[in-house]
Structure 1
Amino acid sequence: MSTIDDNKRFVRQFFDAMSQGDVAKLVGAYAEDGSVQTMGNTLISGTFNRDEIAAAADGIFDVFPNGIEFTIKDMVAEGNKVAVEASSSGEHVSGQTYANQYHFLFEIIDGKLKSLKEYLDTEVVTDVLCGGQRPPFGDA
């Protein structure tokens, strides 16, 4: 099996862990110096290292008492990178349905997630996850 096939399998397992709310598996997928960058200018935007991900992960899943489901729509891989088009759906604690569309770019080095870039609909994030609150313009 090729590295590309291994990386695609890694990404599928990562999305399975997200859909299961498996924080230990998600955090364990990151390299020691791994990070995630959520694009945009929302209250949850920014770049976070593995320790910050571990500290915040339980809280992220807590706002979805019935879970959140991620669906991979398409995946393309080359070298150590995997690009994924995906969607999510879950009921937020506010009673609103959170449904978003994403593009993720995974960089996998030696079987660990070195970096993850998350592009998503920031208006959905603001409306549902952040209760309509926005950071001051330019503070992302």
Structure 2
Amino acid sequence: MSLETNKQLVADFFAHFGRKDVQGALDMMTADATWWIGGKPALFPLCGLKTKAEIGELLNSLVPGTKDGLKITPKAMIAEGSKVACEAESYGVLGNGRTYNNEYHFLVEVRDGKIAAVKEYLDTMHTADVLKG
């Protein structure tokens, strides 16, 4: 796939969350896909390496309950080889009424036209604060 095609795949992948379409995003991932969230799992259990099934469970517990979806807007992307680096910002009102507005750096690996791995760097303190409410 071309670098531009890989970048479009990543943009399309994140667009599913704004439509509350977690399954659509999962369908864009390889069967053996992984999702790593930066941070110490002992301090914040959402962090660490997750399988596709585990991240699906996590996303399904958060995204469908948002008021209008969790919009993840890519701000900048750079692609090289099979990887896409993406700076992004999210916005959504969670089921608990709190606004989730985080900033990210995602490193996404593409294989055979699908998402094979995601590495997510974010403000875990903001996430913990919004989820606790």
Give unmatched runs, 5+ long, in structure 1: 133-140
Q: Does 1:30 align with 2:29?
A: yes
Contact 1:38 / 1:46 at 8 angstroms: preserved in 2?
A: yes
State the TM-score, normalizing by the size of structure 2.
0.89
In the TM superposition, 1:92-111 aligns within 5 A as 92-111=94-113
Q: In the alignment, residue 94 of structure 1 is paired with which amino acid? A: N
Moved over 3 A (4+): none
Question: Structure 2 vs 1, CA of residues 80 and 101 (structure 1 numbering), >3 Å: closer, same or farther?
Answer: same
For the residues of structure 2 that align with 1:12 and 1:3, how far apart are their CA atoms? 14
Answer yes or no: is the 8 Å Cα contact 1:39–1:119 preserved in 2.
Answer: yes
Contact 1:43 1:126 in 2 (8 A): no
1:68 corresponds to which residue? 70
- Count of aligned residue pairs for this structure pair: 130
| Consecutive unaligned residues in structure 2, runs of 5 or more | none
Identity of aligned residues (%): 37
Partner Cα separation in structure 2 for residue 63 and residue 128 of structure 1: 14
Determine whether 1:46 maps to 2:48: yes
Q: Distance in 1 between matches of 2:24 and 2:49?
A: 20
Instruction: Please report the RMSD computed on the Cα atoms of aligned residues, expressed in angstroms.
Output: 1.5
Who is 2:10 aligned against? 11
- The one of 86, 89, 98 equivalent to 1:87 is 89
Do the aligned partners of 2:17 and 2:69 also contact (CA within 8 Å) in 1?
no
